[in-house]
Amino acid sequence: MRLTAIEEGHLRNGMPGTIGIAGLFPADGPPFDLAWLRARVRERWGGLERMNLTLRPPAGPAAFSGHRWAVRPFDPAAHIAADDRDLQTLLTDAVSRPLPEDRPLWRLLVTERAGESGEHAVVLLAHHALLDGRSLETLFRLLMDDARPSRPPVPGTAPARRPVRAAGVGRELRIIGARGRALPAAPTEDYAPSVAVVGLDAPVMRAARRQPEAGRGATLNELLLSSFAGALRARYGPLSAWPAGPAPFFGTVPVDLRGRHDAHRLGNGVTALRIPLPVDLDSPVARLRACQEEVAAFDHRCDAHRAILPPLLATARAMPWLAQVMARRLARPELTTSLCTAFKWRDHPSRLHGRALARVVPLPQLATPGTANLCLVHCADTYTLTVVSHLRTGDAEAIGGAVARELAAVAECEAPMDRSAREVRAR
């Protein structure tokens, strides 16, 4: 079975391609029993074809022959193991090297020392060619005690799509190809992968989500994009102080193209929308409003991508060298400098072998040198930001801390109720 052009691109972009999701559980219970976990995985995932796919190299010259998937049932004993590293070290090592290709491209690791508080963690890792972030979330939900079996896609139930105007397609193609800025460069020899997991204060996040004043409130994506823009301004100054002329700094937002009829389909079902981040605006709320205006256009932009992608991907699939050219080009820092993803874990409470899920930690992929990717997750009453950077050592922590400070600045902006109360007192 031939890989799709997107899958082929994830293999040919020159990076390890590992992504992941981790569930943290309180330290007051016994360690997870590996035999039990292997049995649960076999029960819940064993019948999913995607989890049984092994990668085969091209049969001929790589420029003209693509990789193929071959079905090879996974062995839980080979895929599921205990690990004695702390979570941050485990995740940093995971994004820095590819998974072995002699078996299906995923692993499930269990560590008893995830953090300083001694939480236990279950970590699912996979190559992006096999699974995207939404697929990891779907699989992790299937492991939970009260999970319902996912329904396979129903043929012929895809909703009717709105007509797409040629002008909208042309506009989106220009955005895809527009040259942006890379992050201000460090000496190449100083670049190194780093991962930071930042727990965000829940009351601060709740206050930030009520912004801006007299608005509808902010989504996680909008908050992440605007606070990242503020973090970049605090760290590097306004764009006029950056090199590379007047080009904007683009953030890239993965958007799921699956619908209700195939919401649980595994594989790669997302597209990427680029937006100029408002680094030059000096107010946290102004940056948030600017990002909300960009996000408001996502539905129509996704319609354009649904029109663009089928012919483009069909061509790239027929010519694997084109998939490689596209993947390498899109991996350049001035085109895809920062992926910014956010989602909410909606199943609460969730339990695994009777243990309550306390926190979800995402793991974005490592991109080319000069980039940083971010993912924010809301689970129960916890908010967790993960930064994966390919900058200087320690830059992931610095960016994570700067984003946390920007979120606090948004939260501290005067809320409508507070202002009204002061006006009443003044009268």
> What is the pLDDT, as a whole number, of residue 320?
82
Strand, coil or helix: 275? strand
Helix (H) or strand (E) holding 240: none
Is residue 20 predicted with pLDDT exceeding 60? yes
Residue that the structure tokens 């939970």 belong to: 144
Cis before 212 (ω within 30): yes
Average pLDDT over residues 45-66: 88
Strand, coil or helix: 255? strand
Is-contact 383 370, C-beta < 8 A? no
Bridge partners, residue 192, by sequence: 391
Residue type, 138: T
Residue that the structure tokens 């039990």 belong to: 36
Is residue 194 predicted with pLDDT exceeding 90? yes
Residue type, 115: G
User: Cα dist. 288→224, 275, 295 in Å?
Assistant: 9, 13, 10
**Structure confidence by residue, pLDDT tens digits, 216-248:** 889 999 999 999 999 999 999 999 888 877 889
Query: Strands 355-356 and 351-352, how do they pair?
Result: antiparallel
> What is the pLDDT, as a whole number, of residue 355?
92
CA 159 to chain CA centroid, Å, is: 26
> What is the pLDDT, as a whole number, of residue 149?
67
Strand order in the sheet with 18-25: 80-83, 106-111, 120-127, 18-25, 359-363
Is-contact 308 315, C-beta < 8 A? no
CA 421 to chain CA centroid, Å, is: 40
Q: How many Å apart are CA 102 and CA 170, to the nearest integer?
A: 42
> What is the pLDDT, as a whole number, of residue 280?
94
User: Cα dist. 383→163, 239, 291, 399, 411 in Å?
Assistant: 38, 29, 20, 16, 14
**CB atoms < 10 A from the CB of 392, how many?**
14
Confidence of residue 425 (pLDDT cuts 50, 70, 90): very low
Is residue 63 predicted with pLDDT exceeding 90? no
Q: How many Å apart are CA 337 and CA 154, to the nearest integer?
A: 37
Please name which of 157, 161, 163, 87 lies closest in space to residue 122, comparing C-alpha atoms.
87
The first and second tokens of residue 136, run together, are 């990891």
Please name which of 356, 25, 384, 60 lies closest in space to residue 205, comparing C-alpha atoms.
384
> What is the pLDDT, as a whole number, of residue 365?
96
Average pLDDT over residues 186-212: 90
Residue that the structure tokens 């790589």 belong to: 62
E strand spans, 296-425: 340-345, 351-352, 355-356, 359-363, 372-379, 382-392
Confidence of residue 424 (pLDDT cuts 50, 70, 90): very low
Residue type, 247: A
Confidence of residue 159 (pLDDT cuts 50, 70, 90): low
DSSP state of 299: H
Cα distance between the two ends of the chain? 74
> What is the pLDDT, as a whole number, of residue 154?
61
Strand, coil or helix: 364? coil
CA 185 to chain CA centroid, Å, is: 23
The percent of residues above 70 in pLDDT, for the chain, comes to 92
Q: How many Å apart are CA 330 and CA 333, to the nearest integer?
A: 8
Is-contact 379 357, C-beta < 8 A? yes
> What is the pLDDT, as a whole number, of residue 417?
42
Q: How many Å apart are CA 287 and CA 83, to the nearest integer?
A: 41
> What is the pLDDT, as a whole number, of residue 52?
96
When computed from its CA atoms, the radius of gyration of the chain, rounded to whole angstroms, is 22
**Structure confidence by residue, pLDDT tens digits, 406-421:** 999 999 986 544 433 3
**Structure confidence by residue, pLDDT tens digits, 275-327:** 999 999 999 999 999 999 999 999 888 988 888 888 888 888 888 888 888 88
